[in-house]
Amino acid sequence: CPADGRFLPDRYVEGACPHCGNLKARGDQCDGCGRTLNPEDLVNWRCRLCGTPPESRESRHFFLRLSAFQEPLTKWIKDKDYWRPNVLNFTRGFLADGLKDRAITRDISWGIPIPLPGYDSKRIYVWFEAVIGYLSAAKEWAQRQGTPEAWRDWWQDPSARVYNFIGKDNIPFHTIIWPAILMGYGGHNLPYDVPANEYMNFGGAKASKSAGVGVTVPEMLAHFDPDPIRYYIAVNMPETSDSDFSWPDFLRRNNDELVATYGNLAHRVLSFTHRSFGGKIPEPGPVDAAGQAVLDGLPIALKAVGESLARCHFRDGLQRWMALAQQVNRYIDAKAPWKAIRTDRQDAATSLWVCANALSCLATVTYPYLPFSSQRLHEMLGFSGETQARGWTGPPVPGGQ
């Protein structure tokens, strides 16, 4: 910038995107279409600090020879059909445009210095060094744990899977640039999956701290327990398209879905069991066809939710465990143990035992979503220790516990 007398970081250069026309694109990326850019790609560029049109001046830099990875990256993504469509399509489109070498240094005073003499005025730019932090942080952790080679269990063991959970604006850095860096270095696991979410907007607008749009996690935790927040984010997660956060919808889903379907089921089963059977899960008698259908559905639900989680289909997994809760609600409504106990105590005991076993399964499948509630349910059913210690199972609840 001739007015400020300084080289500008990419993000300090603004202008119109040459691809989508977004007037507020930055010199490194356009939030409108998600494409990565170089500052000189912008139309009618201006300095973000003062608005003056910047000048291009010759400067010597180091580059990542990204063009050398065109074929290896194209080959690598061929079997990634399990990626989310937006991630896979964006990556394929990026490769189809042809990879171009990108400068990894800038003329700035802050950042990671170049470990070579003669480059004191330059720094490694953030888009290059930030992703390396995944690997360097693992190595630092291993050193601090006193097991300096432990990082290899994740980064060099072929059976390990690396997942990069990101927002859609970071797709090319995790499906193109970071894999290229790893390929160039060699001997390390590439990302197995890059489940990028779209944007969760607030009242139809993009979250912005400066504009006062949105809410922070600490602000929400000042008023609500973590699990209702986690539930709403999961059920409203922008996995394939932008979603919108609203307080009325947050309250509706919490009250009508989480509390009414899942919380109310646990409350009804456990409170009635406590009152009528001395605070212990009763011994069951013969299980009828309806009860057996519930029990037979438990391993099916475990498998289905587990597969959804493994594929990073979190909303689908949530819907599957909610379907199980609805099935058990229908079962207990039909069996009505609060009525049956007057004439057939054994039948009431059996139906409550079936429901307790269903709750044990639900405590497992809801744990990734609602860890605090699941732990409480785990203990209410008579189990000790941590929920996750039992593994991906719904351990049977013995009568008399």
Instruction: Convert the pLDDT of each residue in 10-46 to its tens digit.
Output: 889 999 999 999 998 999 888 888 788 889 899 999 9
Q: How does pLDDT run across 167-182, given as a tens digit for each residue? A: 988 999 999 999 999 9
354 and 284 Cβ atoms separated by less than 8 Å: yes
For the record, the structure tokens of 271 come out as 């409170």
Average pLDDT, the chain: 93
- With tokens 């079997």, the residue in question is 79
Question: Measured between alpha carbons, how far is residue 256 from residues 229, 230, 248, 259, 262 in Å?
Answer: 15, 16, 12, 6, 10
Residue 68 confidence (pLDDT) above 90? yes
- On the question of pLDDT at 165 being above 90, the answer is yes
Contact 174, 76 (CB under 8 A): no
CB distance 331 to 287 below 8 Å: no
Residues 6+ apart with CB under 8 A from 202: 213, 214, 215, 244, 245, 246
Residue 336 and residue 78: Cα distance in Å, rounded? Answer: 54
Distance between CA atoms of 166 and 238, rounded to whole angstroms? 12
Contact 13, 48 (CB under 8 A): yes
> Strands 191-193 and 162-163: what pairing?
parallel
pTM of the shown model: 0.84
